[in-house]
């Protein structure tokens, strides 16, 4: 039996974190301490912005940012249909209306032309994602938002380390929102962060994540408005900080493996590979291909699993799910639907070697030929 190849393996090194974890446990300061603050500063410096606000997940980061921007009932927020449901859920939780936007025909990200056609006087925020670490067309989408007086807020959950036109993801628009879930390039187990150059927004987000309270002279807090407990604790921050400090190496490793896949998959019948244009650097949170029509993607996943190779879907077309039926509008979202049905995520783990890549591609070809 071949060794199992997982879809992902977090790049956490015990020797980097055991000392700081011991110090935190001995100090008794388990939340909102110096490790969280240093994690925020390090990510802000990497992204190239002035402020970073750590949260418990990307979902809470997006929700916090939306609330911080004043989004609520009566407002509309443009969101991609092809996304993990967390993006849409965060909008729904504010009381605003999510407007589902199709993907481009030649890429997974939000189509700016479709977005422009769906704006209205109620549009408050345009909220694209950077799917799988592939930067969206932030410049065009920021113009779409500006044309109706809306803000561009980016769900950058997958794109820490990615850039386009020399600008790093998380620095576009009014703010970016990162994830540190185990399937992300940097993981805390769970965690998120909002990055922004707006000092007023950053202060408001810090207040809202702490139950709406701010420090005052003397003991206790002043509570300015109802808020949330979205604070990240010290132990996850230690995990994330250890990886951000060597993010260049992590990205180089992932891009190297992606290049091996690009070469090995070249010419494989039934598989379409997307590649970054000359103006972009992808972070490769996931390596995702598109299968041709007529290939049963779910059967491919099952047969790959029988060969001890873990694969999975790309992500979801939200309009196809009951939870989002009130906002599906019965509209046509053909690209999103196609990607949800045809996208396949291949394994991408730290220090993946040539033999593993060859085995994945060889097995994929064999499985497709059985169709």
What's the CATH number where 264 sits?
3.90.1150.10
Task: Judge if 73 and 199 occupy the same domain.
Answer: yes
Last residue of a domain, one of 201, 228, 244: 244
Question: Tokens in use for 140?
Answer: 């065009």
Question: Tokens in use for 220?
Answer: 């206790």
Question: Tokens in use for 207?
Answer: 């207040």
Last residue of a domain, one of 229, 244, 259: 244
2 found inside a domain: no
Task: Judge if 37 and 112 occupy the same domain.
Answer: yes
Q: Is the pLDDT of residue 2 over 80?
A: no
Taking alpha carbons only, the member of 326, 288, 348 closest to residue 130 is 288
Number of domains in the chain: 2
| HSE-CB for 189 with a 13 A CA cutoff | 9
Task: Judge if 91 and 207 occupy the same domain.
Answer: yes
Task: Judge if 231 and 268 occupy the same domain.
Answer: no
Which has more confidence, 32 or 15? 15
Asked if 195 and 65 count as a contact pair (C-beta separation under 8 A), the reply is no
Task: Judge if 97 and 210 occupy the same domain.
Answer: yes
Q: What is the residue-averaged pLDDT of the chain?
A: 96
168 found inside a domain: yes
- Percent of the chain surpassing pLDDT 90: 95
For 244-273, letters b (16+ CB in 10 Å) and e give: beebeebbebbbebbebbeebbeeeebbeb
124 found inside a domain: yes
Q: For the full predicted model, state whether its pTM sits above 0.95.
A: yes
Asked if 180 and 199 count as a contact pair (C-beta separation under 8 A), the reply is no
pLDDT-derived band at 218 (thresholds 50, 70, 90) equals confident
pLDDT-derived band at 272 (thresholds 50, 70, 90) equals very high
Task: Judge if 25 and 156 occupy the same domain.
Answer: yes
Task: Judge if 76 and 212 occupy the same domain.
Answer: yes
pLDDT in tens, 86-122: 999 999 999 999 999 999 999 999 999 999 999 999 9
How far apart CA 235 and CA 240 sit, in angstroms, is: 9
Q: Which domain holds residue 310?
A: 247-369
Last residue of a domain, one of 205, 226, 244: 244
Residue range 21-37: mean pLDDT, rounded? 95
Task: Judge if 252 and 234 occupy the same domain.
Answer: no
132 found inside a domain: yes
pLDDT-derived band at 330 (thresholds 50, 70, 90) equals low
Continuous H helices in the chain:
14-27, 34-47, 58-68, 86-94, 112-118, 138-147, 199-209, 234-244, 247-265, 297-306, 325-328, 334-342, 354-369
Asked if 282 and 254 count as a contact pair (C-beta separation under 8 A), the reply is no
Instruction: Give the single-character DSSP code of 322.
Output: G
Asked if 358 and 127 count as a contact pair (C-beta separation under 8 A), the reply is no
Whole-number pLDDT of residue 332:
80
Task: Judge if 259 and 204 occupy the same domain.
Answer: no
Asked if 198 and 45 count as a contact pair (C-beta separation under 8 A), the reply is no
Which residues are within 8 A (CB) of 292 and not within 5 positions of it... i.e. 6 or more apart?
269, 270, 271, 272, 342
Which residues are within 8 A (CB) of 213 and not within 5 positions of it... i.e. 6 or more apart?
207, 221, 222, 223, 224, 227
Asked if 69 and 123 count as a contact pair (C-beta separation under 8 A), the reply is no
Question: Tokens in use for 369?
Answer: 């030929």
Q: Is the pLDDT of residue 245 over 80?
A: yes
318 found inside a domain: yes
Q: Is the pLDDT of residue 217 over 90?
A: no
Asked if 79 and 98 count as a contact pair (C-beta separation under 8 A), the reply is yes
Instruction: Give the single-character DSSP code of 192.
Output: E
Task: Judge if 133 and 150 occupy the same domain.
Answer: yes
Q: How many CB atoms lie within 10 A of CB 292?
A: 12
Task: Judge if 86 and 203 occupy the same domain.
Answer: yes
Q: Is the pLDDT of residue 1 over 60?
A: no
Whole-number pLDDT of residue 32:
86
Q: What's the CATH number where 93 sits? A: 3.40.640.10
Task: Judge if 77 and 182 occupy the same domain.
Answer: yes
Whole-number pLDDT of residue 351:
93
38 found inside a domain: yes
Which residues are within 8 A (CB) of 78 and not within 5 positions of it... i.e. 6 or more apart?
99, 101, 110, 115, 118, 119, 123, 125, 126, 127, 128, 144
Question: Tokens in use for 56?
Answer: 């418990």
| HSE-CB for 256 with a 13 A CA cutoff | 12
4 found inside a domain: no
| HSE-CB for 95 with a 13 A CA cutoff | 6
Asked if 300 and 368 count as a contact pair (C-beta separation under 8 A), the reply is yes
5 found inside a domain: no
Q: Is the pLDDT of residue 145 over 50?
A: yes
Whole-number pLDDT of residue 68:
98
Sequence length of the chain is 371
């Amino acid at each position: 039996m071949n060794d199992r190849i997982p879809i992902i393996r977090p790049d956490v090194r015990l020797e980097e974190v055991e000392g700081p974890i011991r110090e935190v446990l001995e100090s008794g300061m388990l939340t909102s301490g110096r490790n969280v603050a240093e994690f925020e500063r390090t990510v802000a410096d990497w992204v190239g912005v002035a402020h970073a606000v750590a949260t418990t997940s990307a979902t809470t980061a997006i929700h916090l940012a939306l609330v911080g921007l004043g989004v609520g009932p009566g407002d509309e927020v443009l969101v991609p249909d092809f996304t993990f449901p967390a993006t849409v859920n965060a909008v729904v939780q504010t009381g605003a209306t999510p407007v589902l936007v199709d993907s481009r025909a030649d890429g997974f990200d939000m189509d700016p032309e479709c977005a422009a056609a769906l704006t209205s006087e109620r549009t408050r925020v345009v909220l694209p994602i950077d799917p799988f670490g592939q930067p969206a067309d932030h410049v065009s989408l920021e113009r779409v938002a500006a044309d109706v007086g809306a803000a561009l807020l980016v769900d950058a959950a997958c794109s820490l380390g990615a850039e386009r036109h020399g600008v790093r993801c998380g620095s576009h628009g009014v703010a970016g929102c990162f994830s540190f879930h185990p399937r992300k390039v940097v993981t805390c187990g769970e965690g998120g962060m909002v990055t922004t150059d707006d000092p007023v927004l950053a202060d408001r987000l810090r207040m809202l994540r702490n139950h709406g309270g701010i420090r005052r002279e003397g003991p206790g807090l002043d509570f300015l408005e109802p808020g949330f407990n979205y604070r990240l604790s010290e132990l996850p921050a230690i995990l994330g900080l250890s990886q951000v400090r060597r993010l260049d190496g992590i990205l180089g490793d992932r891009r190297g493996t992606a290049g091996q896949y690009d070469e090995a998959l070249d010419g494989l019948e039934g598989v379409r590979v997307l590649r970054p244009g000359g103006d972009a650097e992808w972070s490769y949170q996931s390596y995702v291909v598109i299968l041709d029509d007529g290939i049963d993607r779910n059967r491919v996943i099952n047969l790959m699993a029988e060969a001890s190779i873990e694969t999975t879907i790309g992500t979801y077309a939200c309009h196809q799910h009951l939870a989002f039926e009130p906002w599906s509008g019965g509209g046509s979202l053909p690209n999103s639907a196609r990607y949800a049905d045809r996208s396949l995520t291949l394994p991408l783990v730290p220090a993946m070697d040539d033999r593993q890549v060859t085995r994945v591609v060889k097995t994929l070809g064999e499985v497709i030929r059985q169709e």
